[in-house]
Amino acid sequence: MSQTEQLISEAKRVLKENDLGGYTVPTKGLYPFQWNWDAGITALGWLHIDEKRAWAEFETLFKGQWENGMVPHVVFHQDSDDYFPGPDQWGVVGNPPSTSISQPPLLATMVRMIYEQSQDKDLAQAKLDALLPGLIRYHLWWYRERDPESTGLVSSYHPWESGMDNSPAWDDILERVPQATRSYQRRDLSHVDSNQRPVKAEYDRYVYLVDFFKDKKFDYQTIHDECPFHTKDVSLNSVLQRATKDLIHLNSLATEPVNLDEIIRGANKADVQIQALWDAERHQFLNKDYAENAPIPVKTSAGFMPLYGHSATPEQASIMAEEIKLWLEKGPKGLASTYPGEAVFDAKRYWRGPSWLHINWMIADGLSYYGHHDVAALLQQASRSIIEQSGYWEYFDPETGEGCGGSNFSWTAAIALHWLV
């Protein structure tokens, strides 16, 4: 078997092993449920194995959609003792139960990619028509409930919503969040070494926020006004922006297109507001602290996500392409999640340094859109070299390529199938 054949068969094995029937766990043990943005990316991997199964990933996730349109960050299809905070912790009564927050909304983009790249066009049309109403309700929820002031940027209220849990960008805001006083038992540390995971002071605040949403009965206006963790996340807003553009396109392909004026208005405003997050000195965009109404001056991979969102100008895209080359000189094994020159950089600790394959892919996809195929190719080569070296880990030390976190990881395998092999 050639190395490529070996990588393909390994990646397929990972997805099949993590398949619990209609949904794929990110990895067994550490993450035993269905996660929102993992599901979208994992579906891309299934496309290369079984198209029906790719579509099923979305259908199963949407079983957890709330009446108000939110698609939760985790849907608990079956209980498990492996994870905290599980279904009994969030106070959400639902069938299936879920968490009370969301995650970067890339689903419409993944649906569009699968629609365009699938072989069975009749199936794809039927699935697009069936999924579209739920996707539209999801996007309307973001604009209505997460931007009640119509600023053009949606709000996030938990580091887990960013998908970049312990990013140093959240450190100062998280300090303002009280620590949970109730006792609880983390489960992640029985699966992964503690130096690759968030610290206790962070976890205490994650748990406080879970309890806070429950106490506020998930009322979006109260949470907007009172939540001690409140950000305008540049990565999440970019993902939403891209997905909204793809949703508008999907609607035009639907058997019965609907009026999307409200969504189009939201998207037009967002492009302008994302521009306001540009930082000329740091050569990238910055997250924003809502309470202080100020940019968060920490260099993270999130700051390049407007490339993927198609919200940068061509000039900004060129500046970022050059900047990414500099980052790769310091951390050649994929794009570091935190700039290796930052004091807080930590090569193996989750979102404080490691490179993540799906982020490499999303940013490379954005670079190609702006014509920077050479830098996109650098990210692709780096990504390929780490899976050749280490296999399908959750994330990788950007200096050595060592695999970290959970092994046999679904979205890493999916990105390999879709992009690298």
Choice among 165, 188, 289, 397 that is catalytic: 165
Instruction: Classify the C-alpha dihedral 224-229-232-233 as positive or negative.
Output: negative
ω into 398 cis (within 30 of 0): no
Taking the least distance from each CB to ligand GLC, the nearer of 35 and 62 is: 35
Cβ neighbours of residue 126 closer than 8 Å, sequence gap 6 or more: none
CA distance 94 to 76: 10
Taking the least distance from each CB to ligand GLC, the nearer of 251 and 390 is: 390
Find, among 117, 14, 33, the residue nearest to 73 by Cα: 33
Rounded to the nearest 10 degrees, how much is the dihedral formed by the CA atoms of 260, 127, 38, 401? -110
Count of alpha carbons within 13 angstroms of residue 325, beta-carbon side: 10
Q: Which helix (H) or strand (E) holds 278?
A: strand 278-279
372 within 8 A of 403, measured Cβ to Cβ = no
> Minimum CB separation from ligand GLC for residue 72, in Å?
12
CA distance 68 to 59: 18
Taking the least distance from each CB to ligand GLC, the nearer of 100 and 118 is: 100
- CA distances (Å), origin 115, targets 58, 110, 227, 342: 12, 8, 38, 40
CA distance 415 to 330: 24
| Residues making contact with ligand GLC (CB under 6 A) | 26, 31, 35, 37-38, 163, 165
Taking the least distance from each CB to ligand GLC, the nearer of 18 and 390 is: 18
30 within 8 A of 188, measured Cβ to Cβ = yes
> Minimum CB separation from ligand GLC for residue 138, in Å?
17
Q: Is 165 a catalytic residue?
A: yes
> Minimum CB separation from ligand GLC for residue 151, in Å?
25
> Minimum CB separation from ligand GLC for residue 313, in Å?
28
Taking the least distance from each CB to ligand GLC, the nearer of 158 and 283 is: 158
> Minimum CB separation from ligand GLC for residue 75, in Å?
12
Choice among 19, 394, 397, 399 that is catalytic: 394
Active site amino acids: 165, 394
